[in-house]
Amino acid sequence: MIGGLILLRPFISDETTNHLSKPLKRQVIGYSRATFFRPEPCSTSRTLSVALACLLACLSPVQAEPLQITLAVSEEGGVYRAFSETLLGKLQPDKYAVTIKRAEDALGGSDLYIAVGMKAATQLAAKDIPTLNVFVPKTGYDKLQREFASHDAPRSAIYLDQPMERQVALLLSALPGTRHVGVLYNTAPPELQSLRRLLAEKKTHLHEQAIDQAHPLNDALEGVLGESEVLFVLPDTDIYNASTIRNILLTSYRKQIPLVGISQAYVKAGALCAVYSTPEQVATQVLVMIERYAGSGKLPAAQYPNEFEVSVNIQVARSLDLRIKDADRLRDEIRGGP
């Protein structure tokens, strides 16, 4: 013991100490995991220096290995690329080692996987590995949760869709006075009950139409547009997809019925407006969840995007003879700002 210090070193027997030079010879008392030293009265400054050096070596923090993260993207380019590049720029390379792969590639071993898009989420869901899903609709994620409920690995998500309260706030702020809203769906989503309640509170009637054998998409669309002042898009890829969206937009436009979309892409294609989260906003939220996982080994619960933007198609508004506020004002009203 030197000034009350405990030095950690392998067990030293009396036989071993006989081979030490005299200035370093110690009387050994203690056990193999923690050896206590009593200096001889003739201890030199060199002895103290060696002891302090050993102590500092024992107390020096060990550099943790970077958390291994694999980003599995459903496709290259577009919002997926923007998200991936933004996230890479936010992650400190000394803390996180990131690999980007396509969903269909062999993923290899990682501490955490991030599935970007529904295709990647579906691929990874079957593997029972720690996965954070982004850009996936809530209905799609919930379906995967049910299908792979027996898996034990942590899973979470940041949904593609916005909370229903936020979407209804946009609808009523962009089109005040609306009293008849139409929706189409393949299977009634859980959020439908919330939509009914929110619109009923504003004395607005919801016209619903399920797509089935008796009501194919075109017939259902014609029917619901005949009763509605606006078509409200629900994130149902069985209805709204690359092969159907053009016809839905053209039919709505021909009947002078605006469509409220769920992404900026909808607005560019011809929807009147949409509330959405940018890849940069999603990446910021993902970073927080990664840091939580790195510290605890647990992922936060699945959640909606925290931050959002609003997009407005002014040309469509003019064509439909609608006066609509600009995107910044709509966003501020939804946020509760001035």
Structural domains of the chain in order of their starting residue, each with its CATH number: 14-59 (no CATH), 67-162+279-296 (3.40.50.300), 164-277+308-335 (3.40.50.2300)
74 touches 116 (CB < 8 A): yes
From CA 60, how far away is CA 64, in angstroms rounded? 12
How confident is the prediction along the chain (338 residues), in pLDDT tens digits per residue?
444 333 333 333 444 334 433 443 333 333 333 333 344 454 555 555 555 555 555 544 445 789 999 999 999 989 999 999 999 999 999 999 999 999 888 888 999 999 999 999 999 999 999 999 999 999 899 999 999 988 889 999 999 999 999 999 999 999 999 999 999 999 888 899 999 999 999 999 999 999 999 899 999 999 999 999 999 999 888 899 999 999 999 999 999 999 999 999 999 999 999 999 999 999 999 999 999 999 999 999 999 999 999 999 999 999 999 999 999 999 999 998 54
Write out the H or E segment, with its range, that includes residue 225.
helix 217-225
DSSP string, 240-309: SSTTTHHHHHHHHHHTT--EEESSHHHHHHT-SEEEE--HHHHHHHHHHHHHHHHHHS-PPPPB--S--E
pLDDT at 14: 41
* Type of residue at 50: V
Closest CA to 80 of 51, 54, 101, 61: 101
Closest CA to 182 of 151, 208, 200: 208
The answer for 78, left when phi > 0, alpha when psi is -120 to 50, beta otherwise, is left
163 touches 304 (CB < 8 A): yes
The separation between CA 308 and the C-alpha centre of its own chain, rounded to angstroms, equals 14
312 touches 328 (CB < 8 A): no
Tokens encoding 175: 């089109």
From CA 183, how far away is CA 177, in angstroms rounded? 18
From CA 314, how far away is CA 112, in angstroms rounded? 42
Residue given tokens 């910044």 in the structure block = 328
Torsion of Cα atoms, 85 then 87 then 88 then 89, to 10°: 90
Write out the H or E segment, with its range, that includes residue 256.
none
What are the Cα distances from residue 184, in Å, to 42, 66, 124, 187, 208? 91, 46, 29, 9, 6
**H helix and E strand count, the chain:** 13, 13
